[in-house]
Each structure stands twice: as C-alpha cells, then as structure tokens.
Structure 1
Amino acid sequence: MAGGRPSPPLFAALLLVAASLRVASSSDSDVLLRFKATVSDPAGSLNSWAAGSAPCNKNVSNWAGVVCDDDGNVSGLRLEDMRLSGSLTRIVLLQSLPGLRTLSFMKNDLEGPLPEVGKFKSLRTLYLSTNKFSGAISDDAFAGMSWLKKLHLSSNGFSGPIPTSITELPKLLELRLDNNRFSGPIPDLQLKSLKLVNMSNNYLEGRIPNGFRTMDAGLFAGNKALCGDPIGVSCKPLPSESLSNQKLAVTVATVVFIVSGIVAVVVLLPQQRQMEHERLEQVQSPKKPAKDTKFASSQKEEKLESGAAGYDSGGSSKKPAKEHEQGRLVFVREGRERFELQDLLKSSAEVLGTGRFGCSYKAALLTGRSVVVKRFRDMNRVGKEDFEEHMRRMGRLSHPNLLPLVAYYYRKDEKLLVADYVPRRSLAAALHGFRAAKVPALDWATRLKVVKGIAKGLNYLYEELQILSVPHGHLKSSNVLLNDSFEPLLTDYALVPLMNQAKAAQSMVAYKSPECKQHGKTSKKSDIWSLGTLILEILTGRISMIDPTQDKDVVSLADWVNAVAEEEWTDKVLDREMRATRKSGEEMIKLLKVGLACCEANVEKRWELEEVLDRIEELKESEGDEDS
C-alpha cells in the first residue's frame, strides 16, 4: 500500500466484487420489473417497484411484497390482497430468481388457467387462493416439485379431475382445493407428511380413500356424490360385492329365522303363560296399589348448574320450562352424536376451571362420551340472529389444530358452548403445573411440534375469518390443549365479535397488545403479538405476565429476554428442561428470535404471519432431521 490507498490488484478486485453485487441486484430488479409489466396494478400496489432501486437491502425488503433472504436475494413474493388483475401467463419470468421459495397471489382478481408453476422445482409454498383462475389442470402440472410443502388453490373456478401429480409431492403438508369445481374421484394421495386437506364444496364423487377416513367430515362437505368415511354415507357396492352381499343376506336371514323360532319357543312361550297366570290372579283377587318404580339414585354427583335453563338440578318435581324459555342445544357440526340439553343436566360434571369469562365443566354423557361445556355470561354484544350466524360460521371451521365447536345454547343472559373433551388438558399445565405429579417436562422436539401446530391453527383462522379484525383474540397457553400425541388444539378463538367490549378489553389477550394500550385499537397483528408471547413462554418455561396491571414492576417476557445479552440466552433464557444439544440449541435461538419479532411493539415492524410460518417451518427438531 502507498499513500494509504489499496494496491492496484486489490483495488481492482474490490471493484469487481462490488460490480458483481450490483449486477446481481440489478438482475433481480430487471426480472421483477419485467414481471410487473405483465399484470395490471390499478391500485398502484407495486409503485415501489421502480427502476434504479434494489428490491433488497440484505434481508430487508425495499419493494412491496418482496421477501429477502440474509444475502439480499429475493426468496419470495407475497403479493396478497393488492387488487392485481390479468393473468399469470408470464410467470415463467420469475424462474430467473434462483432463490425463490415462496409465491403467494392470494386475494386478487387474477384469472385464466393455472400458471406454469411446475417449472419452479425449488418452490416450497404456492398460494393462489381467492382469485378467478379457472379451467382444468393438466395431470402433470406439479410433476417434479419435490420441495413443495403447501399448495393452496381454494376459492377459484378450477374444474376437471384433481391432478394425480399431487400424489408425487413427498413433502406436501397442506393441500387446499376447496370451493372450486373439481370433479371425479379423489386420488389416493398416501402422503405421510400431509397434515391438512380440504376438498369441500366441489363436484367430487366416489369413495373417499381410506387414508382420509379419520379426518373431519367437514373437509369433504359439499360434494354430493362422495361416499364412505368420514362423511358416513354408504357407498353402492360393486356388482361382485352386490352378489356376495345377496348371498350373505340370504344366509343371515335363514339363521335369524331359525334363531327367532328357538327364542319364541324357549323364551316367549313361558312368558306368555306367566302373563296369563297373572291376569287370572288379578281377576280372582282385589287390586293393590302399584309399587313406585321410580329410580332413586343414592350416589351424589355434581350436576351442571341448570337454574337458568329451566331445570331443577335437585331432582324436584318442578316441570321443565317451555322450550322458548329454556332454549335448546343447537348442533353446528354434521355427523356428530346428538344429545339434548337435559342429557347434559343429568350428566355427572367436573369443574375444569373458572376464568374471567365463566366456568368450564367436563360432562360425562350416559353414552360414554365426555364433552366440555363452557358457560359465558358476557356475550351480549350482538343479537340472537347475529350470534347464531357466528356460531354457524364457527361450526364450519375444520383444522387439525382447532378444537371444533360441537353445539351451543343461547339465552339472552347466558350462553353455553359445547366442545369435545381433551384428557391431557392445557399447554399451561404441561409447562408449569405437572412437576409435582412427576410428569416429564416437554422436550425441544415436543415444544417445536406444539409451536408449529399453534402457528398453523392461527394461520387457518386468518384465512377463514378474514372479516374479523382479530381472528383469535385470546391466544395464551391455557387456551391451547394437548391431545395424546401432543398435537396442540386452539380453544376460545373467534369470540371477540360476541363479547361485551368492556369485558373483552379487560380479559382478552389481544387487548393487552402494545397498540391497544397505546391507541385503543386491535388488529390481526395483535394475534401475532400474542403468538410471540406464547412462543417465548414455551421456550423459557416462565409464566407469561400478559397483564401486569396489578404489579407495575413486572416486566414482559419480551423485555426480559431483550435485557439479557444474546450470547447468554442459552444459559440464562432457555428452559434447561428442553435438554438442548449444540444443533438443537441453535434452532432454539432461531425460534426465540421469531418470538421477539412477533412481540415488536411497533406494529409496522412486527412480522407478518406468513413470515412467521415460514421461519418456524424451517426449524428442525434434531441434528438428524432432514430439510422437510
């Protein structure tokens, strides 16, 4: 070096590196600008896409809807709800973006046939829902997309058979084909990775493959020609089956006839003689008052409180109130066992918990099924018609990570919501309440599984309840149940429209978010903040102080984590009961950063749910995990 300047060779090398970076950035810009010219943007949503500027500044996006990786490459496009129109016939232009992993054009006015998405072999997620795409999809449309995890084509006009190339997607987690015009049989997917399938409201026909028989019936509703499990519609037998069934029926009928004859001789004939003998005695002797045959149980069981419903739980002789006074149970889910309000009142009940909204009971029905009944007294925000419409909307929700609503009971001053009982209880109990019972702590793999399930359930609420400003509203560890395989089930969701405003502001988690405290307004990102707080609780094992109004000195989990130096997070922040290894420890730190990004006080800087989902989905349980 001379005079403080780099030597000529080194200086030239630096210029070459800088030039190559500019060329790469310029290349991404050119590709996106050429693609922009192929779609119509009447709302000016893509105005930030301008020549002379770079789409990415490292992992920070400068252009609307562009997702950037840590190296400043374009890794995704989320052009959602931008009023874009036209077709995507020139989508192949985006092949020049080698780092592209996510494509989302949801909630626009795009039309035409399915774009040539099969050319994007490295794509992880593809969202085309809620547009105007139409026509049949070629059978090989998704051939070779071996990395694809999520394929959402719902709420379009696609027709014809479901492409069999979908059966060749080894990493597929979610498939949504609902609200289209698909016809013909459902392919037997046999994909072990598949977690969510929705094929409702199409023109599909034939027997539902056995791999779907344990799924919720609502995922196949609206296809009148489908049969089999789980929808409970019998399938017409094939000709060979019909002949075999006829032979079986003749054989069974013969056996039944013979057995019936034996029963008549052995059982009914002595009974008839006994009845004749008793009638003779009654004629020959004076009548006696009949004995009281009413069953009186000596076992004292706790009953559901029933005064408001018009029943006397103490077994008195009071008659039930008229139906219009006592109300009735209304079932919102097809194919479920039906029972009456009186069955609930007769059942033995166990108090599961008492919260600010009311009490939760476990009710054991006489049929053997157990349900959870939640009593609410502060749901007077809407009238009966609006309440019932919202219940029907909730009844249509179906996702593996939601506890489905089964039925409801309406009175002006009290409401009951009925759901299935989950024996393992809540995430809060698993994290904080089982130590005395010597139940093992949740390890890293289980906690990551729980976080992924929670995020998927919340994302489903986002998509299905777009009209709600806060799709969940009350996301916290005590409102997440764990089934026997530790799959999380979200509860107490979508209640904001029904709750009294004052009660909601006092009790619901979304109303504790920074933006609500500062400006009195909630938004969908209030649920993101709740998710972030929950992630931090899961990773730290500490009880989340969501509402520190009683103690002004209490610090939120996010503030507590941020107050610790990052290099000390492993020792001072993460719950040691997760038993971290070197590799899993790195994954824990990544998730911790996701939780903090969700808890960002500035709503504009707080991550979108799509970004959260992608980052969580990339996390692995252990060193041996594949990139799934």
Structure 2
Amino acid sequence: MACSRPPYWLTLLLIHVLLTCSLVLSDEEDGKKLLKFKNSLLNTEGLSNWNITSAPCNSKPQNWTGVICNDDGSVFGLQLENMGLGGNIDMDTLAEVTSIRTLSFMNNNFEGTMPNVQKIGPLRGVFLSYNKFSGDISGDAFSGMSGLRKVELANNDFTGKIPISLTQLPLLVDLQLQNNKFEGEIPDFDQKDLKVNFANNRLEGSVPQGLGNQDPSSFAGNNVCGKPLGSCKIKKRNTLKIIIIAIVSLVAVLAAIVIAMFLFRAQKRGKNEYRNQIKKTDRNNTYKANPNEIQMHNQKEIYKRTDNGGKLHFVRTDRERFELEDLLRASADVLGSGSFGSSYKAMILDGPAMVVKRFKEMSNVRKEDFHAHMRLLGSLSHPNLLPLVAFYYKKDEKLLITDFAVNGSLASHLHVKRKPDEPGLDWATRLKIIKGVARGLDYLYQELPRLSLPHGHLKSSNVLLDDAYNPLLADYALVPLINKEHAQQLMVAYKSPEFTQHGRTTKKTDVWCFGILILEMLTGKFPANYLEQGKGGKPDLGTWVNSVVREEWTGEVFDKEMKGTKNGEGEMLKLLKIGMCCCEWDITRRWDLKEVMEKIEELKEREEDEEYSSYASEGDANSSRAMDDDNFSFSVTS
C-alpha cells in the first residue's frame, strides 16, 4: 500500500521547527565558544554577564555585553570597546563562530602583534585602534578577505610597510592607519569611494595616483608629496645651489661676527655712563606697573623666538583676529592657577576680554597632533561649551585662548565665603546650571565618539557662568594632549572608582564625574577626594551622601544657602537620586548618559502634584522611607 504525501502546510511547519531548533542549538554552541574566547582575555569585569545560563542572542532582552546579533538569532559581531581588556585575542576560537562578520576591540590594552584576522575570511570590519599593538604586519595579512569594508588600526605602534594585500580588497571604503610607525612608500589603492588616513607615520615618496582625491590632512606628519599635497619637484635640490647657499651663509656669519665685535667695543666705552643715567631716571620715576602685566610682557621675546614666529592660530571665523604681540601687550589679571597652569584675563585694545591659559604638561604631544586636535575643538559649537578661539604652540608650553565668562566658575559661587547679605545660588539657578552641563556633556559624547573621556576633567571649577548664569564647560577633551602621568595624577576622571581600583576608564567615567558635580551642587560640599594626588584618595562625595541618606537622614544633606522654591523639595530629591545613580561604583549598574539626560530633562523647579513636598515636614524617618519607596538602591563598594 503506497503512503500518501503529508499536507503541504505540515511540511512547512516541520521545516520551521527544524530550523528553529537548529538556531537555538547553534546559539548555545556559539555561547560556549564565546565563553572560551573570554577566558583568553584579562580584566573581563565588563563581561560579567557572559555566562552559560543564557544564550548570547536568544535571551530577551539580549544581555551579553558587546555581542551584536542578527535577526535570526546568530552572532553577527563583537563590539568590545573602552573596557580595559588585555590578554590574547583568540582568533581560532572566534573563527568557530561562523556567523561573525565584524570585530571591534578599540581603546583597550591589547599588546603584541596584530591578531591573525585572516582566520575569519568573511569579516567585513576590523577595528583595533587605540591599543598597544606593535611590530610589522605581513604583506598578505588581508589576502582573500574580499568582503572586508573597514579596517581601523590607528593609534598603535605598528611598524614596517603598509600591507600590500589592503590594495586587493575590492569593497574597502575606510582605512585608518594614522599615528603608527609605518614606513616606506604608500602602495597604490584604486578602490572607488575609499577614504584613508595615513597621518603621522614615517612614510615617504609620492602619493599614489589613486589617492589624489583624499584630504591633504590624511598625509600630514610624513615625508610624502604629490597630489593632493605639493608637487614633488619642489623637494628636489640642485647640488650646486646647496653649495652656493652654504658659502653665502658662511660669509654672512663671519660678517655678523665682525660687526658684533665692532659694536661691542663702541658700546663698552659708554656703558658706565648709560647705567648712571638709568639709575638717575629710576629714582625720579614714580609709576608702578601692573606686576601681572609685566609677567606677560616678559614672555614677549620668548614667544617670538620660536618656530611659530610669534603666530597665533585662530580656529574660529566669527571672532576678530589679533596678533600675539597684541595679546602680550594687553593688561593682564591673574584669574587663578589650576591643574595645568595659570590663567590670565587679557584686555585686548579696542576688543573683548579674552582668557589665556598656559599649559606646560603637553610636551609629549607632537606638533601635528596638537594642531589637528585644536582644529577639532575649534569646530565644536554648543551654547554650553566655552568656545576655543585660538591657540599658540611651543614645544614646552602651549597657550589656549577662549572667551571670558563674566560670572566666573561654579566653584567660586559654591565654596567662596560670601558677605552676610550676599545671596547664594537658588534652586532654580542650580537646576538651570545642571541641565546646561548635561546638554553640553551630551554634545561632547555625540561629537567625540572616539574618545572614551569626551570631557575628562569635569568639575565645578571647569563650569563657568555667563552673564545670565548659563553654564559653559571648560577644559574639555584634553586627555589626548595632557602628558599621561600628569593626567592620571590630577585629572578628575582618574579619581573614579574604576581607575583607582582597576586602572581603567570607560564611557561611563565622565558620568561619574557628572554625578559628583550634581552632589556638590546640591550639598554645597567640596569633593575632598579631588585634593588627593594619584590613587587611593579620600572617600568621594557620593559615599558621604549615601551614608547620610541611608543611616541618618535629617534633610541636612542639601546646601543651606540654596533657597528652595516652594514645593521644589521633591524635585531636589529626584536630582539627588540621579546624582547618586551616576556615582554608582558598579559600572554595570551606573546609569549611562542617555538615561541621565532623560531624567534631568524631566525635572522642574517645583513638583506640580506636590507628591514629594510633604517629605520635608514628615521628619527624618519618612524622608528616608521616601527614598526607599522610589526603588532606590546605591552601592559604594566595588
């Protein structure tokens, strides 16, 4: 008896069930392989939610940090960035996860030679920038990887020639090799729509014809020529011309020596008479110059004797330009001495007041890198950022010129002793300032995605106030420029729990700094741990606030000089909660900036339904219970 065919719908159902079971089993196997890969890494605290109890892509919500999933539940890639990871990147194990198409390990602490990415032939993206990889990369390192579109190896210590196999990738559209030690000539690339960056290597020769349409800055810091740079003919020198120039120069030097000797003898005869005349003039002179102005004038010749030729570099087109000589001639008042150097208020003749900040801890940064970073900062524009106007470069000292904020720093309003009748900042003004700081910080996160510390030094003295008490963030995005040892000793980001305990920073480190700023604003207390240099400082402000809230809530946590708006106590409590969630020691529980922004934007000057306004009058116990009832939790131990 012949068997009849099963119904068509039943066949489809069986196929669907088999495929689903296959995907689930595949995901579980991929999870085991990724756990094996994790074992090859160091400092994996950020991967604590990688565990055998859940599959990488089938759990909802998907909770394996850094795992990118396809719609079908397979693993598409890994994005393990800014996590302080080290150890070995086990490419053999990753190759067993056959669906992987992209790998990003940017801004970690990996060392040694470049991983053998060729073991995963179908890769589309390789992102290894901002690590400590070194050594040569073999010429065939990317052979056969025909689907590769993006390769980013910037800011490492790679040496040798640029791998020729990169020119054989038909789909390559993005190649970032800047800030390494690649040498030799640039191979010829003919891929359409390709964007490259070879800046700050040791390359030489002419730019290949296929790269003639690139941005000239992509070749800065090398010894190369040709389109889009200057003609290579300019670099050729005639031997005879060199000899003639050398002879002329020698004659000029000898003539200068003879003239100098003649002048020296002529001036020596009248030297004593000249000194006596100066002394007589000084006795009759009653003018007392501004000592700060003299301090600036004394720098005039020093600044003019540099390779800059006394030139200021302006990074904004909406400011009236002036020369360095105008700046040095201007009267100057010392504004203060901070972590990096002194600041002066300079009154330019017939122009606005400007702030000149001197930096001496940037000697490790190359001139090309410094100029490029200044241009980047000059391109930033936001109502809550103090705009960079111009800069001056010298090897052992730099000047940054910015606008002047008439109401000084937030720190001066919170911590300087006031007269009895002088009011402090009220709640409405403090809320306005916090919202502005949050918006400025969010803008930095958006515009500087490659920086793990978009600000890096967020504290009350770096929040300036304009004439309407709008906040302006200052000293932002300077981490790439400051000498590493000095930065780790003094910059606020390096006081965070993740750095003091684990020696690393993350994208949430600036959030921790913002949380401390919020608590400082609400309590009026200065964060004592900022005064400690290096690791192991005093307990942070978040620890103190948590102890008060949890153990002895009295309402005394808020600054007595903050005049509360009627029915605003509930909003203050909400902001206190936000600040403490920003200061969470456990990075996985700490809020990210997006969540912080959403919560802060919801705050008002007063609570409309007066839900929280009764807490202040119900006593300490009720206030403490109010925080608990809001599902609030906060830990201060790692």
Name the TM-score, length of structure 1 as normaliser: 0.51
Task: Give 1:575's match in structure 2, choosing from 559, 562, 577.
Answer: 559
Q: Distance in 1 between matches of 2:528 and 2:391?
A: 32
How far 1:324 moved relative to its partner?
2.4
1:617 has 2:605 as partner: no
1:597 has 2:581 as partner: yes
Q: Distance in 2 between matches of 1:84 and 1:305?
A: 63
Contact 2:571 2:607 in 1 (8 A): no
How far 1:507 moved relative to its partner?
0.8
Per the alignment, residue 350 of structure 2 pairs with 367
CA 1:334–1:553: 2 relative to 1, 3 Å: closer
Deviation sequence 1:392-439 (CA, Å, 0-9, x none): 000000111000000000000110000001110000011111513743
Equivalent residue runs for 1:86-105 within 5 Å: none
Q: Distance in 1 between matches of 2:55 and 2:381?
A: 38
Contact 1:374 1:416 in 2 (8 A): yes
How far 1:328 moved relative to its partner?
1.4
Equivalent residue runs for 1:392-407 within 5 Å: 392-407=375-390
Which residue identity does 1:300 align to in structure 2? A
Which residue identity does 2:387 align to in structure 1? P
Per the alignment, residue 506 of structure 1 pairs with 489
1:515 has 2:498 as partner: yes
Which residue identity does 1:388 align to in structure 2? H
CA 1:306–1:622: 2 relative to 1, 3 Å: same
Q: Distance in 2 between matches of 1:81 and 1:399?
A: 34
Equivalent residue runs for 1:197-208 within 5 Å: none
Per the alignment, residue 384 of structure 1 pairs with 367
Task: Give 1:413's match in structure 2, choosing from 370, 386, 396.
Answer: 396
Deviation sequence 1:270-292 (CA, Å, 0-9, x none): xxxxxxxxxxxxxxxxxxxxxxx
Aligned residue pairs: how many? 351
Q: Distance in 2 between matches of 1:565 and 1:531?
A: 19
Q: Distance in 1 between matches of 2:484 and 2:358?
A: 18
How far 1:580 moved relative to its partner?
3.3
Per the alignment, residue 341 of structure 1 pairs with 324
CA 1:581–1:343: 2 relative to 1, 3 Å: closer
Which residue identity does 2:542 align to in structure 1? A
Name the SS for the 1:423 alignment partner.
coil
Higher relative contact order (CA 8 A, sep 6+): 2
Cα RMSD (Å) of the superposition?
A: 3.7
Which residue identity does 1:303 align to in structure 2? E
Contact 1:461 1:472 in 2 (8 A): yes
Q: Distance in 2 between matches of 1:399 and 1:83?
A: 35
Contact 2:424 2:561 in 1 (8 A): yes
Name the SS for the 1:407 alignment partner.
strand
Name the SS for the 1:473 alignment partner.
coil
Per the alignment, residue 513 of structure 2 pairs with 530
Contact 2:519 2:579 in 1 (8 A): yes
Name the SS for the 1:462 alignment partner.
helix
Q: Distance in 1 between matches of 2:551 and 2:605?
A: 21
Q: Distance in 1 between matches of 2:530 and 2:572?
A: 26
Per the alignment, residue 105 of structure 1 pairs with none
How far 1:584 moved relative to its partner?
1.3
Q: Distance in 2 between matches of 1:372 and 1:485?
A: 19
Equivalent residue runs for 1:40-439 within 5 Å: 50=58, 55=61, 298=287, 300-301=289-290, 302-303=292-293, 305-306=295-296, 310-311=300-301, 321=304, 324=307, 326-436=309-419, 438-439=421-422
Could you tell me the percent identity over the aligned residues?
A: 52
Which residue identity does 1:504 align to in structure 2? A
Which residue identity does 2:301 align to in structure 1? Y
Name the SS for the 2:373 alignment partner.
helix
Contact 2:428 2:605 in 1 (8 A): yes
Q: Where do 5+ consecutive residues of structure 1 fail to align?
A: 1-41, 56-61, 66-79, 87-108, 110-295, 313-319
CA 1:324–1:507: 2 relative to 1, 3 Å: same
Deviation sequence 1:580-611 (CA, Å, 0-9, x none): 36731111111111111111111122111101
1:443 has 2:426 as partner: yes
1:467 has 2:450 as partner: yes
Contact 1:509 1:546 in 2 (8 A): no
Q: Distance in 1 between matches of 2:385 and 2:308?
A: 32
Deviation sequence 1:529-579 (CA, Å, 0-9, x none): 100100000011111113354798943211111112459546121123323
Name the SS for the 1:523 alignment partner.
coil
How far 1:305 moved relative to its partner?
3.8
Q: Distance in 2 between matches of 1:612 and 1:81?
A: 24
1:563 has 2:552 as partner: no
Per the alignment, residue 202 of structure 2 pairs with none
Which residue identity does 1:560 align to in structure 2? W
Q: Distance in 2 between matches of 1:407 and 1:539?
A: 35
CA 1:617–1:49: 2 relative to 1, 3 Å: farther
Q: Distance in 1 between matches of 2:55 and 2:319?
A: 51
Q: Distance in 1 between matches of 2:69 and 2:375?
A: 29
Deviation sequence 1:162-203 (CA, Å, 0-9, x none): xxxxxxxxxxxxxxxxxxxxxxxxxxxxxxxxxxxxxxxxxx
Name the SS for the 2:357 alignment partner.
strand
Which residue identity does 1:521 align to in structure 2? R
Name the SS for the 1:583 alignment partner.
coil
Per the alignment, residue 285 of structure 1 pairs with none
Name the TM-score, length of structure 2 as normaliser: 0.50
Name the SS for the 2:442 alignment partner.
helix
Contact 2:456 2:492 in 1 (8 A): yes
CA 1:84–1:508: 2 relative to 1, 3 Å: farther
Contact 1:570 1:589 in 2 (8 A): no
Q: Distance in 2 between matches of 1:601 and 1:485?
A: 35
Contact 1:584 1:622 in 2 (8 A): yes
Contact 1:594 1:612 in 2 (8 A): yes
CA 1:82–1:421: 2 relative to 1, 3 Å: farther
Contact 1:379 1:500 in 2 (8 A): yes
Per the alignment, residue 588 of structure 1 pairs with 572
Deviation sequence 1:142-172 (CA, Å, 0-9, x none): xxxxxxxxxxxxxxxxxxxxxxxxxxxxxxx
Deviation sequence 1:441-480 (CA, Å, 0-9, x none): 1111111111111111111111111111211010000000
Contact 1:597 1:607 in 2 (8 A): yes
Q: Distance in 1 between matches of 2:370 and 2:324?
A: 19
Q: Where do 5+ consecutive residues of structure 2 fail to align?
A: 1-29, 35-49, 73-101, 103-284, 611-638
Q: Distance in 2 between matches of 1:533 and 1:585?
A: 20
Task: Give 1:476's match in structure 2, choosing from 448, 459, 463.
Answer: 459
CA 1:492–1:395: 2 relative to 1, 3 Å: same
How far 1:523 moved relative to its partner?
1.9
Name the SS for the 2:568 alignment partner.
helix
Q: Distance in 2 between matches of 1:348 and 1:511?
A: 36
Per the alignment, residue 198 of structure 1 pairs with none
Deviation sequence 1:476-524 (CA, Å, 0-9, x none): 0000001111111000001100011110011100011111111211222
Q: Distance in 1 between matches of 2:378 and 2:554?
A: 43
How far 1:335 moved relative to its partner?
2.0
Per the alignment, residue 470 of structure 2 pairs with 487
Deviation sequence 1:210-256 (CA, Å, 0-9, x none): xxxxxxxxxxxxxxxxxxxxxxxxxxxxxxxxxxxxxxxxxxxxxxx
Name the SS for the 1:531 alignment partner.
helix
